[in-house]
Chains A and B, each alone.
Chain A
Amino acid sequence: MPTFEYAPAPESRAVVDIADSYRLWIGGEWVDGRGTPFAVLNPATGEELSTVAEASEADIDAAVAAARTAYTRVWSRMSGTERGKYLFRIARIMQERSRELAVLETLDNGKPIKETRDFDVPTAAAHFFYHAGWADKLGYAGLGSDPRPHGVVGQIIPWNFPLLMLAWKIAPALACGNTVVLKPAETTPLSALLFAEICEQAELPPGVVNIVTGAGPTGQAIVDHPGIDKIAFTGSTAVGRMIARSIAGTGKKATLELGGKAANIVFDDAALDQAVEGIVGGIFFNQGQVCCAGSRLLIQENIHDDLVRRLKRRLETLRLGDPLDKNTDIGAINSAKQLERITELTEAGVAEGAERWDTGCPLPKNGFWFRPTLFTGVSQSHRIAQEEIFGPVLSVLTFRTPGEAVAKANNTPYGLSAGVWTEKGSRILWMADQLRAGVVWANTFNQFDPTSPFGGYKESGYGREGGLHGLAAYLKEGSVA
């Protein structure tokens, strides 16, 4: 199929100033980290963007102390109305600085500017708006007339939606009166550090939010710190399990948003052109580095060949390249490590007998890249049908009956999300009942909203983020109404 030649349309990176090095933001001050500073790369080029401090155990101690002081002296005593106004301020500043945030996020993460500009940043601001309004209405949340915050919350977020995950974590925590120690992922800390500046501009009281950078050991220090009342984590199921084990026997609460291996199920009566768009968005959005990605495509057997043909034709039109280019559909893989994992699992797919196809598009010389890839002839026991690949790789399986579709869809330890495509209303509702997943998208996929609870069943974790249910995760029941 012919593709049009597009002239380059790069977004200017001049809107953002990246410092040569960053420190930790603790108690409203920028302080030196006591660990070993580490480099942060632009995954699209491999160039170094900046150097970031590593928080040691002592730094976490200081951050938790600052958060505790802010909690007892200021934040837990402040009226909900005033807390809410701080959140509204933050939301507004995020909107004002949205282009800067989008460009920074794209540079740091490698995802296309059209995603950061149209999804990550506006949705992050929307989360602050939504939760700002809750701050003085917590008595209506169904947790008694006077629900209480937990205290100091330790939050550990992943690299796939750095700013949005920060918003998912910080906005409800603050609205409910908690204070926060947040660790962004080691490959994508820059938007969280810019968020610290936004908090400064909003004149958020010192210590209400603390940003500490580092990798696994820094996260472990947060999880293990006795001054933390609650952990909120988004990341892999393996790490989630470690956290659940670490806090066993303590008083710490946890919300865990973990991995997924979502089935996207297409029946033969589905609107196929719409389904193709949904399938593509479901697995190639953010290069497939999405925990709820529709990574297993279950096609009703009689339309398999037709749908796969349409899908391949559509995939060939995807434009892979410079993430800052406004026409780019597929950006860079976030890190060399992630690229290695995707490569390893796709090789296993071939070795186990599935048939591999990719778009064959040219890849940039530097940075970390992977072509949109599709496997047909996948069976349920294949690793590419069982394990989370977290990359632009779609595994296609087939089914004959709704019952078989449900059995195959649920045949996974995960239970984060699922998709159903059919024009038959009663079947949608039946399927939605049967699928063991926290989010079911029917005739759509990968939709998110601050009012809509998100989170998994089974080994995809527990607790919800967003909506009334997400709010409840940051509150303790108060005196019963």
Chain B
Amino acid sequence: MSPAPQRATQGRLDVRKTYKLFIGGAFPRSESGRSYEVYAAPTRGGKQAFLANAAKASRKDARNAVVAARKAVAGWSGATAYNRGQVLYRVAEVMESRRDQLISEVRTAQGLTPTQAGANVDAAIDRWVWYAGWSDKVAQVSGTLNPVAGPYFNISAPEPTGVVAIVAPQDDSLLGLVSVIAPVIVTGNTCVVIASAQWPLPAITLAECLATSDVPGGVVNILTGDPAEMAPWLASHLDVNGIDLTGAGDLDWAELEAAAASNLKRVRRPVAEDWTATPSLSRMKDWLETKTVWHPKGR
């Protein structure tokens, strides 16, 4: 007979996790060797428990993430929409299996009640399900067959823009993050995401879910650290095709948008958003290009 599993007791020292970056499907530390201290939300008494030393990503990490994201574009955008939908649904499945862990992390980070944190996590999981279903429908609601005045077949269909940099919402640790990642990747884009600086741990747990849900390495790359330090390099990066500034409201986002003009990136400006509401299709459409194909008809 095997011994009964040991219960955690007051006497046992817990095994802590090292929270690292998520780049190209791997979990590296910052190449800079830097980290920053992450604390729990203050208790009533004002105490803040130490949680972890999160990796503080550098300019070089951000660039490495862009390289990984670019490398992943061909495979991910070339996958069938059906396949991408299945992969996104799989993310929801894996998150569901880690639901308690995610709730605990969101709760500790943001200082929410168990009910509030549960609602945040449930909505995040359901958001993956919602976007998973869009994968093979978005082309049907945003593509057109155009009745041109001549003997030509003419069709317009959406294609992914490519590599999208995302400054994730800074005031929400998980639901906001999922709400900006899922619409970017469901259509075949890949992304480099700067997570919430003060609450980075749920983002890294999300990365673990992504790494175990058949999302190819490099499709989502997550950086933790200082958005003000990293965002300018992504905004001016010539191999980034678009930038979502949703979480950049407190940064000098006008400067980021101006830098994005260097290669005419598609830009989504920061606007306050209710993450619990049903999303608008614009979060997908902002990272889609319309391609129109002509061909003559004839006997």
Contact = CB atoms under 8 A, between A and B. Distances in A.
A437 B156 CA distance: 12
A452 B291 CA distance: 10
A244 B235 CA distance: 13
A62 to B, nearest CB: 28
Nearest to A451: B146
Interface residues of B, number: 35
Contact of A458 (B148, B264, B293): B264
B81 to A, nearest CB: 13
Contacts of B141: 142
A248 B261 CA distance: 8
Contact of A457 (B146, B147, B289, B294): B289
Interface in B243-260: 253-255, 257-258, 260
A459 B263 contact: yes
A453 B156 CA distance: 7
A440 B292 contact: yes
A244 B156 contact: no
Given A244-B261, A452-B146, A459-B263, A469 B280 contact: no
Contacts of B190: none
A19 B158 CA distance: 47
A462 B261 contact: no
A442 B298 CA distance: 13
A468 B149 CA distance: 16
Contacts of A249: 253-255, 257-258
Interface residues of A, number: 42
Q: Per DSSP, are chain B's interface residues mostly helix, strand or loop, or mixed?
A: mixed
Given A241-B262, A449-B154, A428 B295 contact: yes
A185 to B, nearest CB: 21
A469 B154 CA distance: 14
B251 to A, nearest CB: 11
Contact of A142 (B142, B253, B290, B295): B142
B290 A464 contact: yes
Contacts of A457: 161, 289, 291
B264 A468 contact: no
Contacts of A461: 264
A256 interface: yes
Contacts of A452: 146, 148, 154, 156, 292, 294
A453 B291 CA distance: 8
Residue among A242, A245, A449, A454 with max Cβ neighbours from chain B (10 Å): A449
Given A449-B150, A458-B264, A459-B263, A443 B295 contact: yes
A38 interface: no
B257 A468 contact: no
Given A249-B257, A449-B154, A442 B293 contact: yes
B295 A256 contact: no
Contacts of A244: 257-258, 260-261, 264
Contacts of B142: 142
A438 B292 CA distance: 6
A459 B264 contact: yes
A237 interface: yes
Question: Which of the listed residues B267, B282, B294 has the most CB atoms from chain A within 10 Å of its own CB?
Answer: B294
B115 to A, nearest CB: 28
Nearest to A258: B264
A240 interface: yes
B144 interface: yes
A469 B261 contact: no
Given A258-B264, A449-B149, A452-B154, A468 B292 contact: no
Contacts of A459: 263-264
A242 B148 CA distance: 34
B266 interface: yes
Interface of B: 141-142, 144, 146-150, 152, 154, 156, 161, 241, 253-255, 257-258, 260-264, 266-267, 280, 282, 289-296
Interface of A: 126, 142, 237, 240-242, 244-245, 248-250, 256, 258, 413, 428, 432, 437-444, 447, 449, 451-455, 457-459, 461-462, 464, 467-469, 477, 480
24 contacts: A244-B260, A245-B261, A248-B260, A249-B255, A439-B293, A441-B294, A442-B293, A442-B294, A443-B295, A447-B150, A449-B150, A451-B148, A451-B149, A451-B154, A452-B146, A452-B148, A453-B292, A458-B241, A459-B263, A464-B290, A467-B156, A469-B144, A477-B280, A480-B280
Given A438-B292, A439-B292, A469-B290, 17 more contacts: A241-B262, A244-B260, A245-B258, A249-B254, A440-B294, A447-B148, A449-B149, A449-B154, A451-B154, A453-B144, A457-B291, A458-B264, A459-B263, A459-B264, A462-B266, A467-B144, A468-B144
